[in-house]
């Protein structure tokens, strides 16, 4: 009888030891999971991240759904496509225009984006340039990709850069902490946060005056762009 009790106690002790070990392994998994995810993100070549960001940006998105639910929100369409700079065909450039959905032939913003890795290979940079003779490029994305060839002379000054890092199944990007210099509708500085995700893109585009007060742009809610095509 004593032998049976001893065996039972031994089995019970082994079971409790296994449960304890599983609990410790689970706790370690919870602690190290974000670390492992960060290591995995770093293991992906930065050029792969560049291509993923490009793939996410290229296409047509709009804020129609948000505007339908909020009369104060504008209905805006954003169209983005690849272009080739003939002097540097190996570099990645995008043409992007934004227009009110009721006035697509008259975009209020046109720009060229250069998508490239940072020098340290830790982030993807989206550098925005103004365009010279912008009206000549309206509707450029409707042309076949083979016809979308530009020269570096098309580029005006660099306006701003957004620095993107992997987040979950997408990317999150921010302008520099001090923002970007501007002179747009009373704003002398522009800041932006961009979130690329599976249904499109959210942006918190804000204009600040000389005292750092917000004069336009997203406040609590983001501008919510969703895929059209």
DSSP string, 91-137: SEEEEEEEEETT-TTS-SEEEEEEEEE-TTSSSEEEEEEEETTGGGG
What pLDDT, on the 0 to 100 scale, is given for residue 26?
A: 41
What pLDDT, on the 0 to 100 scale, is given for residue 229?
A: 67
Cβ(84)–Cβ(148) below 8 Å: yes
Cβ(188)–Cβ(208) below 8 Å: yes
Supply φ then ψ for residue 150, to 5 degrees.
Answer: -125, 170
Cβ(53)–Cβ(77) below 8 Å: no
Residue 121 has pLDDT above 50, yes or no: yes
pTM listed for this prediction: 0.79
What pLDDT, on the 0 to 100 scale, is given for residue 112?
A: 98
Residue 162 has pLDDT above 60, yes or no: yes
d(C-alpha 7, C-alpha 157), whole Å: 81
- List the structure tokens of 99: 């227009």
What pLDDT, on the 0 to 100 scale, is given for residue 7?
A: 42
Choose the weakest-confidence range: 3-12, 54-63, 97-106, 140-149.
Answer: 3-12
d(C-alpha 10, C-alpha 7), whole Å: 5
Residue 151 has pLDDT above 70, yes or no: yes
Q: What is the mean pLDDT of residues 177-195?
A: 91
d(C-alpha 88, C-alpha 74), whole Å: 37
Higher pLDDT, 127 or 205: 127
Residue 199 has pLDDT above 60, yes or no: yes
What pLDDT, on the 0 to 100 scale, is given for residue 212?
A: 87
Q: What percent of the chain has pLDDT over 90?
A: 69
**Cα dist from 125 to 17, 21, 66, 83, 189, whole Å:** 50, 44, 28, 17, 19
What pLDDT, on the 0 to 100 scale, is given for residue 82?
A: 98
Q: What pLDDT band is residue 42 in, cutting at 50, 70 and 90?
A: low
Q: What is the mean pLDDT of residues 113-121?
A: 95
Choose the weakest-confidence range: 58-67, 92-101, 185-194.
Answer: 185-194
Higher pLDDT, 181 or 25: 181
């Amino acid at each position: 009888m004593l032998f049976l009790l001893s065996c039972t106690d031994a089995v019970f002790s082994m079971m409790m030891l296994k449960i304890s070990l599983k609990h410790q392994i689970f706790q370690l998994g919870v602690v190290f999971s974000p670390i492992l995810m960060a290591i995995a993100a770093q293991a992906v070549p930065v050029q792969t991240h560049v291509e993923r960001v490009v793939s996410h940006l290229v296409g047509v998105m709009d804020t129609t759904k948000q505007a339908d639910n909020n009369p104060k929100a504008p209905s805006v369409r954003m169209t983005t496509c690849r272009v080739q700079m003939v002097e540097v065909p190996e570099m990645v450039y995008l043409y992007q225009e934004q227009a009110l959905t009721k006035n697509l032939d008259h975009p209020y913003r046109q720009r060229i984006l250069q998508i490239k890795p940072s020098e340290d290979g830790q982030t993807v940079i989206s550098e925005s340039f103004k365009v010279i003779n912008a009206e000549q490029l309206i509707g450029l994305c409707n042309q076949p990709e083979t016809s979308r060839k530009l020269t570096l002379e098309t580029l005006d000054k660099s306006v701003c850069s957004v620095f993107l890092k992997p987040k979950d199944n997408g990317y999150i990007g921010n302008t520099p902490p001090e923002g970007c210099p501007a002179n747009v509708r009373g704003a002398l500085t522009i800041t932006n946060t961009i979130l690329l995700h599976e249904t499109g893109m959210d942006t918190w585009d804000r204009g600040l005056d000389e005292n750092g007060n917000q004069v336009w742009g997203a406040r609590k809610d983001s501008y919510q762009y969703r895929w059209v095509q």
